Amino acid sequence: MKYALVTGGSRGIGRAVCLKLAARQYNILINYKSNDAEAEKTLALVKELNVKAELLKFDVANKEEVDAVLGKWIEQHPGETVEILVNNAGVRQDALMIFMTDNQWKDVIGSSLDGFFYVTQLVVKYMLVKRYGRIVNVVSVSGLMGMAGQINYSAAKAGVIGATKALAKEVARRNITVNAVAPGFIKTDMTKDLSEEQLKAMIPMQRFGEADEVADAIVFLSSPEASYITGAVLPINGGII
């Protein structure tokens, strides 16, 4: 039984990834933190594609929750394998550095960087035993070039980019690939407070991207066809950089 685990899978890019991987007949583990209604909606949509799906509610930034929920699932399913891990969970809490609170810093770093570490460390040990795995980390153009007002988000995503490249080197011999996608402005709940009309002037393609466009790239990097790609960071941003 092959599973794909998608963190932050209840909405936006996460939901699109869940659906596209389910269409490839992967069973789906949908992680989410708090929005039960959206998670249940994603679960129903995935099940319509005739695969198994489960909700795993935990905060990726909380090691105790990760171990209690994800660790318990792994222990209770010894014959089933998490073959694909998509680290998509993350939050934005924008502020200029001089006004940024400790909690704004810690929450954003925790959801992206700590979450990557806690979840991946737990899953990758089983990939190493199976000698196969695909890990895709959702980072951001902010982590590549830095964005004013996003010191926390830029730092978190840049950290995951570095971790992606390092982990790729550690596990390559076991047929495990580790890559990242770096979206720009994508139409999701995370960017609904941003004005596409104002911001599209800085995007060569003159528009925001769609969640499906990011999900398609993630699905490719998760596939056997991407077997010789590892340690890569793929920008998906309409040409900003």
Reduced 3-state DSSP string for the chain:
CEEEEECCCCCHHHHHHHHHHHHCCCEEEEEECCCHHHHHHHHHHHHCCCCCEEEEECCCCCHHHHHHHHHHHHHHCCCCEEEEEEECCCCCCCECHHHCCHHHHHHHHHHHHHHHHHHHHHHHHHHHHHCCEEEEEECCHHHHHCCCCEHHHHHHHHHHHHHHHHHHHHHHHHCEEEEEEEECCECCHHHCCCCHHHHHHHCCCCCCECHHHHHHHHHHHCCHHHCCCCCCEEEECCCCC
Say if residue 113's pLDDT is above 70: yes
Residue 15 or 185, more confident: 15
What's residue 186's pLDDT?
87
Q: What is the pLDDT of residues 134-155, one digit of tens each?
A: 999 999 998 998 889 899 999 9
Averaged over 14-40, what is the pLDDT? 96
Q: How confident is the model at residue 196 (pLDDT cuts 50, 70, 90)?
A: low
CB 108 within 8 A of CB 91: yes
Angle (nearest 5°) at CA 16 between 11 and 17: 110
Amino acid at 157: K
Q: What percent of the chain has pLDDT over 90?
A: 81
What's residue 82's pLDDT?
95
Q: How confident is the model at residue 92 (pLDDT cuts 50, 70, 90)?
A: confident
Q: How confident is the model at residue 193 (pLDDT cuts 50, 70, 90)?
A: low
Averaged over 216-229, what is the pLDDT? 97
Say if residue 241's pLDDT is above 70: yes
**In this structure, how many other beta carbons lie within 10 angstroms of the beta carbon of residue 40?**
14
Q: What is the pLDDT of residues 74-86, one digit of tens each?
A: 999 988 999 999 9
Report the chain's mean pLDDT, rounded to a whole number: 93
Averaged over 174-179, what is the pLDDT? 98
Give me the residues paired with residue 183 across strands: 236
CB-count burial class (<10 Å; 0-12, 13-18, 19+) for 239: exposed
Q: How confident is the model at residue 55 (pLDDT cuts 50, 70, 90)?
A: very high
Say if residue 35's pLDDT is above 90: yes
* Residue whose tokens read 């089933």: 80
Q: How confident is the model at residue 38 (pLDDT cuts 50, 70, 90)?
A: very high
**In this structure, how many other beta carbons lie within 10 angstroms of the beta carbon of residue 144?**
20
Which class would CATH give 2-236?
Answer: alpha beta
What's residue 232's pLDDT?
98
Q: Which sequence positions are flagged as catalytic?
A: 153
What would the two tokens of residue 104 be? 């704004």
Averaged over 5-11, what is the pLDDT? 96
Reduced 3-state DSSP string for 72-124:
HHHHHCCCCEEEEEEECCCCCCCECHHHCCHHHHHHHHHHHHHHHHHHHHHHH
What's residue 191's pLDDT?
66
Delimit the domains of the chain by residue range.
2-236
Q: End-to-end CA distance of the chain, in Å?
A: 40
